[in-house]
C-alpha cells in the first residue's frame, strides 16, 4: 500500500488510482461477512453434507426451517422478543423525553441532586448487581413474565441525557412563544419539541431496540420456562436437538434472530448517525 500515495484532498477525495481501494474494501467486507456467509451455507446442509465439507448449498433448508420455526417454536421466541423490544424501546423513549423536558425547561429545588442521582447510574451497569436483582425480582414472583424483562429496563440515564443535551441546544425563544400561546408542558413537548427531535428519537430507537433484542444474561436467568424464552436464550435450546448436535438448524436460527435488528439498523442508519452527532457535541 505504501506505493499508492493515498493523498487526501478536500472531503477525503483520493488523488490517483481508485481501484486498489475498491479491491481492499471488497475484500475487507467479505472477511467481515465470512462468519455469516458460512453460517448461511451450513444452514442449508444436512449433518452428512457438513461433515463432507461440501461447498455447494445443501438440500435441508426447508427441513431445518420446519424444525426450527414450527417444531421448536422459534416463532414464539421471535414474538416474545418483538414484544419485549418494542415495549422497552417505546417506554424508554417516552420516559427519557419527559425527563429531558423536566431537566431543561423547569426550575425546581434539588434539581442538582436529582441530576446527580441520574448521572451516577451511568457507572452502575446492571451486570454488577445481577445477583441481587435476580433475588429481588424473583421475590416479586416475576419469573417467566414479560414484566421481568421489560420494567427494570424502562429508565435510562443515557436516554435522559441524550434528550437533555438536544433540548438544551434548541433556540430558547421556542419556550417563550409556547408560553405566550399558553401551551401546557405536554403540548409543548408533543407539538414543538418532538417534531424537532426525530433524529435523536431515531438514534435512541435504534440503540435501544438493538440493545434489548440482543440482551442475553438477564433473560437467561429470569426465564426458565422453555415457552417463555426470547430469541437469544432460545438459541441455547437449539444447540442440542434430540440429544444430537445439529448444526444446520442452529445456524438458521442464529441468522433468523439477527434479521430484525439488522433491518432496523440498516434502514435507520442515517438518522442514527446524525442523532449521535447531537449526543457528541458539547
Partner 1 sequence: MLIIGLVVAAIIGPLFVWRNNENRSIKRYGIGSAAAVVGAAAPAIGMGQCGFADGATGVDHLFMYGLMFGGGWLALLAAQSFFDRADGKKKDSAAFAGEIRTGGFRLGTWVPWVLLSPTLLILIVFLYFPAFSTFTLSTKLTRLGAPKSVDVCFGNFTELLITDPFKLVAYPLIAVALLYGARFWMRRSEPGTLSRRGADVASVLAVLSVFVALYAMFSPGGGGQVAYRPVYVTTIIISLGIVAFGMIGGLAVAYLAFRNLRGASIYRTMLIWPYAISPAVAGVLFFMIFDPTAGIFTHVMDVWFGIDVPNYRETAFLAQFSIILASGWKILGYNILFYLAGLQTVPLAQVEAALIDGATSWQRFTKIVLPALSPITFFLLVTNLTYAFFEVYATIDFMTKGAPAGKTSVAIYEIIRIGVNNGDLGRGAAQSVLLFIAVIAITMWQFRTSGERVSYGGS
Instruction: Please report how close the Cβ of residue 228 comes to partner 1 at its closest, in angstroms.
Output: 17
Q: Count Cβ atoms below 10 Å from residue 70 Cβ, excluding itself.
A: 11
Cβ proximity to partner 1, 61 vs 154, nearer residue: 154
Instruction: Please report how close the Cβ of residue 209 comes to partner 1 at its closest, in angstroms.
Output: 9
Cβ proximity to partner 1, 78 vs 210, nearer residue: 210
Instruction: Please report how close the Cβ of residue 198 comes to partner 1 at its closest, in angstroms.
Output: 20
Q: HEC string of the chain?
A: CHHHCCCECHHHCECCCCHHHHHHHHHHHHHHHHHHHHHHHHCCCCHHHHHCCCCCCCCCHHHHHHHHHHHCCHHHHHHHHHHHHHHHHHHHHHHHHHHHHHHHHCCCCCHHHHHHHHHHHHHCCHHHHHHHHHHHHHHCCCCCCHHHHHHHHCCCHHHHHHHHHHHHCCCCHHHHHHHHCCCCHHHHHHHHHHHHCHHHHHHHHHHHHHHHHCCCHHHHHHCCCHHHCCHHHHHHHHCCECCECCHHHHHHHHHHHHHHHHHHHHHCHHHHHHHHHHHHCC
Cβ proximity to partner 1, 132 vs 195, nearer residue: 132
Cβ proximity to partner 1, 157 vs 241, nearer residue: 157
Instruction: Please report how close the Cβ of residue 70 comes to partner 1 at its closest, in angstroms.
Output: 20
Instruction: Please report how close the Cβ of residue 214 comes to partner 1 at its closest, in angstroms.
Output: 3
Cα(67)–Cα(179) distance, integer angstroms? 60
Cβ proximity to partner 1, 146 vs 154, nearer residue: 154
What does the angle CA 185 – CA 191 – CA 197 come to, to the nearest 5 degrees? 100
Instruction: Please report how close the Cβ of residue 79 comes to partner 1 at its closest, in angstroms.
Output: 17
Cβ proximity to partner 1, 24 vs 141, nearer residue: 24
Instruction: Please report how close the Cβ of residue 144 comes to partner 1 at its closest, in angstroms.
Output: 16
Cβ proximity to partner 1, 21 vs 73, nearer residue: 21
Amino acid at each position: 500500500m505504501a506505493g499508492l500515495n493515498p493523498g487526501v484532498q478536500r472531503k477525503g477525495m483520493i488523488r490517483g488510482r481508485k481501484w486498489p481501494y475498491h479491491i481492499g474494501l471488497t475484500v475487507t467486507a467479505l472477511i467481515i461477512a465470512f462468519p455469516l456467509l458460512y453460517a448461511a451455507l451450513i444452514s442449508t446442509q444436512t449433518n452428512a453434507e457438513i461433515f463432507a465439507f461440501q461447498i455447494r448449498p445443501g438440500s435441508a433448508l426447508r427441513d431445518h426451517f420446519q424444525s426450527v420455526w414450527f417444531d421448536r417454536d422459534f416463532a414464539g421466541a421471535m414474538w416474545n422478543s418483538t414484544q419485549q423490544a418494542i415495549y422497552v424501546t417505546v417506554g424508554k423513549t417516552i420516559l427519557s423525553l419527559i425527563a429531558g423536558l423536566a431537566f431543561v425547561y423547569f426550575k425546581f429545588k434539588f434539581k442538582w441532586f436529582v441530576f446527580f442521582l441520574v448521572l451516577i447510574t451511568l457507572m452502575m451497569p446492571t451486570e454488577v448487581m445481577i445477583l441481587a436483582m435476580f433475588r429481588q425480582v424473583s421475590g416479586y414472583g416475576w419469573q417467566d413474565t414479560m414484566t421481568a424483562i421489560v420494567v427494570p429496563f424502562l429508565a435510562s440515564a443515557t436516554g435522559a441525557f441524550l434528550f437533555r443535551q438536544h433540548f438544551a441546544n434548541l433556540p430558547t425563544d421556542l419556550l417563550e412563544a409556547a408560553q405566550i400561546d399558553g401551551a401546557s408542558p405536554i403540548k409543548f413537548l408533543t407539538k414543538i419539541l418532538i417534531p424537532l427531535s426525530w433524529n435523536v428519537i431515531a438514534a435512541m430507537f435504534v440503540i435501544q431496540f438493538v440493545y434489548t433484542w440482543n440482551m442475553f444474561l438477564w433473560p437467561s436467568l429470569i426465564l426458565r420456562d422453555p415457552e417463555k424464552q426470547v430469541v437469544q436464550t432460545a438459541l441455547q435450546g437449539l444447540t442440542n436437538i434430540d440429544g444430537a448436535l445439529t448444526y444446520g438448524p442452529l445456524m438458521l436460527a442464529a441468522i433468523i434472530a439477527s434479521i430484525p435488528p439488522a433491518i432496523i439498523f440498516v434502514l435507520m442508519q442515517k438518522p442514527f448517525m446524525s442523532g449521535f452527532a447531537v449526543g457528541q457535541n458539547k
